[in-house]
Amino acid sequence: MSISIRGLSKAFDGHPVLHDVSLEIPEGELVALLGPSGCGKTTLLRIVAGLEVADAGEVHHDGEDFSSRSARERNVGVVFQHYALFRHMTVAENVAFPLKVRRRPRAEIGPRVDELLSLVQLDGLRGRYPHQLSGGQRQRVALARALATRPRILLLDEPFGALDARVRQELRRWLRRLHDDLHVTSVFVTHDQEEAFEVSDRVVLMNAGRIEQVGTPAQVFEEPASPFVMRFLGAVNVFQGHLEGDRAYVNDLVFAAPGAGQARSAHVYVRPHELEIHRAAVKGSFAARVLRLVPLGAAVRVELSAPGFGNAVEVELDVRKSEALALSPGDAVHVSPRRVRVFPAHEAAAQDSLTASGL
């Protein structure tokens, strides 16, 4: 079932949480709502679920306006952040709950519960209580319960948030496979970029109650639509520059800046792995001094000082390249950007304090 969100706004006690949010989610897609905490992503999910009422705007499921329907009429599967399993019911009773309250015949409930429990691989634990299960098991019970009435939309709020790293990895892959089997339109909320990229078909980046960008993981990473997206998806170096026509200048370096408009000053963003280090000056490079080398396994992070370039610059080299350069702290080197993104600096004052890792 497709979801269409049109012009949603929501405020809590006069404090706006969502501003005029619109989003289309086609049938069968797995979408991640990604953003820092407090960006409104959970509120958006709760409005789609019917647990929160929007101040303005509409939610359509398959072209039909669901805005005024209560959560129980929507038949949407929801997996809550802390699973919200009924603590006084066994695993099987939890999974049977939605079928029982909808008064399905007993002959149907039993087989359906068996089917769901084997889907989430918990056949052997049907008599356990939630407090006797591990985090990953609870998560799967919550999922089985949410799927019991065959909803055509599945919503997950930080589904992996409360799990430890290894279980999280496994469950991510498992969820992706499950989605590929069931093809239920799914939306999940996360603040973890890696999680969003690994699991979803498309990523919706949210910031301060607005959608910043919608696209495949590769799209949003390679072609960030805004400085926020650039900064949110990994470390980045920011250089202050000024604009003249469709060119941006940072000291004596020149970069192409098409469509910069009327803005006078610009921020030039470079990812650490898109900077090269040279022993000698080359065209388009600037001078810097090595401060520190941080080994990161397959890569090495080089921290440099470069006056005029925000002082602190971070470069990520792969180990072989760094060995070839044989860098050590104090070395004078030259750094050249391979790829930059230029954004007009509208809120110059607010972003001045940004440094390489200053997020």
Partner 1 sequence: MIGAFDPVTAARAPATAAASEPPAAPAAAAAPSVRVRRPATPRRPTEDPPVVEWALIGLALAFLGAFILVPASVVVHEALKDGLALWKEAIVDPDAIAAIELTLLVAAISVPLNALFGIAAAWSITRFRYRGKGVLVSLIDLPFGVSPVISGMMAVLLFGAHGWLGPWLLDHGIKIVFAVPGIVLATVFVTFPFVARELIPFMEAQGVEEEEAAHVLGASGWQILAKVTLPNVKWSLLYAIILCNARAMGEFGAVSVVSGHIRGVTNTLPLHVEILYNEYAFRASFAVASLLFVLALVTLVAKKALEWRQRRAIREAARRGAPAGA
The site map against partner 1 for 66-85 (x = CB under 8 A) is ----xxx-xxxxx-xxx-xx
Q: Per rule CB under 8 A, is residue 50 in the interface with partner 1?
A: yes
Closer residue to partner 1 in complex, CB, 78/313: 78
**Shortest distance in whole angstroms from residue 77 CB to partner 1:** 8
Which segment (60-68, 146-154, 196-204, 288-296) binds partner 1 by CB under 8 A?
A: 146-154
Q: Which is nearer to partner 1, 106 or 131 (CB)?
A: 131
Residue from 73, 61, 3, 70 nearest 33 by CA = 3
Q: Find the part of the chain contacting partner 1 (CB under 8 A) among 46-54, 189-197, 221-229, 245-253.
A: 46-54
For position 282 contacting partner 1 by CB under 8 A, the verdict is no
Q: In terms of DSSP H, where are the helices of the chain?
A: 41-49, 71-74, 91-101, 106-119, 135-147, 165-182, 193-199, 217-222, 227-232, 319-325, 348-351
Pick from 24, 18, 25: nearest CA to 47: 18
Q: Does 149 bind partner 1 (CB under 8 A)?
A: yes
# residues contacting partner 1 (CB under 8 A): 31
Burial of 54 (0-12, 13-18, 19+ CB in 10 A): buried
Is 153 one of the binding residues for partner 1 (CB under 8 A)?
no
Residues 6 or more apart whose CB falls under 8 angstroms from that of 331 comprise 289, 290
Residue placing its CB nearer to partner 1 in the complex, 97 or 221: 97
Separation of alpha carbons 303 and 300, rounded Å: 10
Beta carbon of residue 257, minimum distance to partner 1 (angstroms, whole number):
42
User: CB of 25: closest distance to partner 1 in angstroms?
Assistant: 18
Q: By CB under 8 A, is residue 106 in contact with partner 1? A: no
Distance set, CA 124 to CA 87, 117, 118 (Å): 18, 9, 9
Minimal distance in Å, beta carbon 98 to partner 1?
4
Q: Give strand ranges (E) for the chain.
A: 3-12, 15-25, 30-34, 56-61, 64-65, 77-79, 153-157, 185-190, 202-207, 210-215, 237-244, 247-250, 253-256, 265-270, 275-278, 286-295, 299-306, 311-318, 332-337, 341-344
Site string for partner 1, 23-42 (x = CB under 8 A): -------------------x
How is the beta sheet containing 237-244 ordered, strand by strand? Answer: 253-256, 247-250, 237-244, 265-270, 341-344
Q: According to CB under 8 A, which residues from 317 to 336 bind partner 1?
A: none
CB 59 within 8 A of CB 76: no
Of the candidate residues 61, 112, 140, 145, the single one contacting partner 1 (CB under 8 A): 145
- Which position among 106, 131, 166, 283 is part of the footprint of partner 1 (CB under 8 A)? 131
Cα 194-195-199 angle, rounded to 5 deg: 120
CB of 49 to partner 1, least distance (A): 6
Question: For residue 337, what are the β-bridge partners?
Answer: 275
Q: How far is the CB of 177 from partner 1 (least distance, A)?
A: 24
Q: 2 or 75, CB closer to partner 1?
A: 75
Q: How far is the CB of 133 from partner 1 (least distance, A)?
A: 10
* Stretch in the footprint of partner 1 (CB under 8 A) among 25-33, 140-148, 235-243, 337-345: 140-148
Please identify, using beta-carbon distances, which residue of 50 and 337 lies nearer to partner 1. Answer: 50
3-state secondary structure of 171: helix
Cα distances (angstroms) measured from residue 117 to each of 80, 110, 128, 164, 259: 18, 11, 12, 23, 55
> Which part of the chain contacts partner 1 (CB under 8 A), choosing from 144-152, 200-208, 249-257, 304-312?
144-152
Interacting residues toward partner 1 by CB under 8 A: 42, 49-51, 70-72, 74-78, 80-82, 84-88, 97-98, 101-102, 130-131, 145-146, 148-149, 162
